[in-house]
Structure 1
Amino acid sequence: MQPMDPHGEQLRRLQALTDSDLARLDVDELLEAVLERVRDLLHVDTGAVLLLEPSGAFLVARAALGLEEETRQGVRIPFGRGFAGRVAQERKAVTIAEVDHGNVLNPILREKGIRSLLGVPLCIGEDVIGVVHVGTLEPRIFTAEDAELLQLAADRIALATRARMTHAELTAASVLQRSLLPGLLPEIPGLELAARYVPGGGGDVGGDWYDVFDLPSGRLCVVVGDVVGRGLNASVAMSRLRSAMRAYALVSDDPSEMLRRLDEQTRHFEPDVMATVLCAVVEPTLDVARVSSAGHPPPIRAVPGHPGELVEMPADPPIGLTRSRRRHTTMVDLPAGGGLVLYTDGLVERRHESLDTGLQRLMSAVVPGPAELVCSTVMGRMIGNHQAVDDVALLVVMRSAAAVTGGSLTLVEPAEPRSLRVIRHAVRTYVEALGATPAETADLVLAVGEACANAVEHAYGPGGGTVEVQLERDGPRLTVTVTDTGSWRDPRGTNRGRGTTLMYALMDDIRVDRGLGGTQVVLTTTLGRREDTA
């Protein structure tokens, strides 16, 4: 019978543990379980695992056995200093036969009465990701076999930890990225919005994003951006840039000024972050957008009856790259039935293919139509059945086509001040499609706005309600009916009630019907009357 090999048996026990028993544990559970087994195998009193921070400057206690204060107090050891810092720097096993103030930086080790220490690095290839060390309360000379066993444990800890942390970071990055993308795009009368986000096939989530939000001025802000880098760090940086853009949009609705402020913030607070961003602000009239680019690919302009065209505009430096003396804004006309297509470079960039080729293919894919159809067509032509190599963010903004020649329009909105903007947009789009002149359009929008404002202000109490607007055309004659279900309150104060006077001045006729079920204001006007009498 061959003699027993105690050391080989220890290695086999450790290998069996790390291969099977720990397969279902997360990072912290894995580290604690391995430390327990290492303690039993090496007959030590304490053990600890410290992982290197992303900055590479500090080792942070992640798991401890007999030294629980290390993790509870968030112990941080500078790289290259103290016992653990020395192990990480030298990338080899280090032993201390007798602990003292000169060779151990962490006071917890001394307070616990640790007399001897053995530490080895956690390495993945050439990268050090941390340190594992064990200690005894009695003086001990650790042998080469002890160091070999601990290094074996460390190698398996490193592989398992990196795999679990990578998976956790990917999950966190994906959840963060998708949580920050708009769940529901705003409903803007006269506009159609559609968007897509597809992660790349490399496994890591990137920093691509899109955002759409309305501003207090009545304008609409649309943003597409791409943070350089991959993984959780890129997603976190993306979330901060997205939030900053929303904040700066409340300060200025000039897209170049928003990007200037974003660039200044990034260079000051996050000098390691770089991103490309495209920002467009659509005017309340919907016929013009102001666009500014920070190193981002220009949008594609969709024009009815024509192929998509690349918007010619200056490409200012990316965010975080260098100080830009001036950022530019380009005015882009948005015809009825047309719009803008914003995207990140993952949509057009291909290996072994020039960027111009990708842009040409994208322009040919942009055909004006409903926003969802445009989105689907672009993704079908540009991505098809292939896995995107890089992340893709796509945002389509399309104006409704001016094709109304008759029929009616009915709106039902909450009786709240924010609804007035929605109603005014819808009325403007409807009457413009009927061929109303700019003066007729302005009169109608103002008169209907006053009637709806009265309903919002006077018809309901704290419980709220709705306001309904119906527009009907009979030849040149247009009738607008504004209905609420609240109770009418007479104007209060000497300067109130002027909205009704204004409506009488703007319309051919006004009728106000008040009843127990609410109030109905009927406005009528004749389109083209001014030209006929000129």
Structure 2
Amino acid sequence: VVEGKEGASYLEGGLGPPLGAVGFPDRYLDVTYHLAAGSTLFLFTDGLVERRGATIRDGLDRLKALAAASDEDLEAMCDHVLLSMVESDVSDDVALLALRPVRLASEPLLLRLPAEPYVLASLRQTLRRWLREIEASPQVANDILIACGEACANVIQHAYGAKEGLLEVDLVLLDGTVEVTVRDHGTWRPISGRDGGHGERLMQGLMDSVNVNSGSGGTIVQMKRRLQTGPHGERARAR
């Protein structure tokens, strides 16, 4: 793991034999490591660090020094490590994989997804991560997730019928307020029965403002929620 000014280090937790190396290992330990945005995780095969006449520790130390001093560009880092570590007479396979998480909240979140039920779980995870990165409180984040999930579910259920369609979800943080836009390009079927309008009332109860605009080109749901509440926990009702 390369963590900027902190340098490079190896993850020591959860060590065990390679998968398939032994028939029935007693156990493998699950270990969780939080990889901060901007850090780099290198995954590699032993062919990258094993050489005749040198110990594997020598190869590991060399790789750590190279990774710590590499360029910030991910592709350039991989090229530098491979060119420096791999010799012409290497007989073993060499594989190197580099992963680097990026901060979602550094920019507005713009998502374009199929309007299908299966996208809701991954969408919720992405929204939760973005809200966590902007330091939304658990209560505010939960309210936004429920309101946005309701708007997205409505698109999936009502906007396109049996046809395929696009679900657009945009989130932006402006002056301490999260602005959510959920958009479709379909034609909503009328909602009848006792449950009609329940979703919009739910969204209005969770957000500071909710505006729904429908037309021939689709429907746009715009919602706002402040990150901070008033001194007694009350929320503004901006219309």
Tell me whether the two structures share a fold, i.e. TM-score over 0.5: yes
Match of 1:362 among 63, 74, 77: 63
Cα offset for 1:412? 1.7
Q: Structure 2 CA distance, aligned partners of 1:521 and 1:403?
A: 21
CA distance in 2, matches of 1:304, 1:402: 19
Distance 1:480 1:499 in 2: 16
Aligned position for 1:413: 113
Give the unaligned 5+ runs of structure 1. 1-300
1:98-132 per-residue CA deviation (whole Å, 9 max, x = no partner) reads xxxxxxxxxxxxxxxxxxxxxxxxxxxxxxxxxxx
- Taking structure 2 as the reference length, the TM-score comes to 0.80
Residue 393 of structure 1, aligned match among 91, 95, 120: 95
For 2:113, what is the secondary structure of its paired residue? strand
Matching of residue 517 in structure 1 with residue 213 in structure 2: no
Is 1:302 the counterpart of 2:2? The answer is: yes
Counterpart in 1 of 2:173?
A: 473
Paired letter, 1:515? G
Counterpart for residue 423 of structure 1: 123
Kept in 2: contact 1:337–1:369 (CA 8 A): no
The answer for the alignment partner of 2:81 in structure 1 is 378
Q: How do residues 26-425 of structure 1 correspond to structure 2 at under 5 angstroms?
A: 301-318=1-18, 319-366=20-67, 371-383=74-86, 386=88, 388-401=90-103, 404=106, 408-425=108-125
Greater mean alpha carbon deviation, residues 469-478 or residues 459-468 = 469-478
Residue 360 of structure 1 deviates from its aligned partner by 1.7
Q: Structure 1 residue 359: deviation in Å?
A: 1.3
Give 3-state SS (helix, strand or coil) of 1:447's partner: helix
1:489 maps to what in 2? Answer: 189
Separation of aligned partners in 2, 1:350 and 1:493: 73
1:328: Cα distance to partner? 1.7
Cα displacement (A) at 1:419? 2.9
- Among 446, 451, 455, which residue is 2:146 paired with? 446
Q: CA deviation at 1:461?
A: 2.6
Cα shift at 1:526: 0.8
State the number of aligned residues. Answer: 230
Structure 2 gap ranges (5+): 234-239
Residues 306 and 506 (structure 1 numbering): CA distance in 2 closer, same or farther, change over 3 Å? same
The amino acid that maps onto 1:522 is Q
What per-residue deviation string (whole Å, max 9, x for no partner) do you get for residues 425-482 of structure 1?
4433433333323332333233222212221222113321111122233211221111
Max Rg structure: 1
Report SS of the residue matched to 1:430: helix
Q: Which has the higher contact order (CA 8 A, sep 6+)?
A: 2
Q: CA deviation at 1:421?
A: 3.8
**Paired position in structure 2 for 1:135:** none
1:397 is matched by which residue type in structure 2?
L
The alpha carbon displacement at 1:361 in A equals 2.2
**Aligned in 2, Cα 1:370/1:437: closer, same or farther, shift over 3 Å?**
farther
Report SS of the residue matched to 2:167.
Answer: strand
Q: Which is richer in helix?
A: 1
- Report the counterpart of residue 116 of structure 1 in structure 2: none
Contact (CA 8 Å) 2:48, 2:94: kept in 1 or not? yes
What amino acid sits opposite 2:36 in the alignment?
P
Q: Against the structure 1 CA distance between its residues 491 and 412, is the aligned structure 2 distance closer, same or farther, given a 3 Å change threshold?
A: same
Which residue pairs with 1:528 in the alignment?
A: 228
When residues 392 and 449 of structure 1 are mapped into structure 2, their CA distance, relative to the original with a 3 A threshold, is: farther
Of 163, 170, 173 in structure 2, the residue corresponding to residue 463 of structure 1 is 163
| SS of aligned partner of 1:332 | coil
Root-mean-square deviation over aligned CA pairs: 2.9
Letter in 1 for 2:177: R
Q: Give 1:320 deviation, angstroms.
A: 5.0
Percent identity over paired residues: 35
Matching residue of 1:14: none
Task: Give the Cα–Cα distance (whole angstroms) in 2 for the partners of residues 497 and 328 of structure 1.
Answer: 49
TM-score (norm 1): 0.39
2:207 counterpart residue number: 507
SS in 2 for 1:324: coil
Q: Which amino acid aligns with 1:460?
A: Y
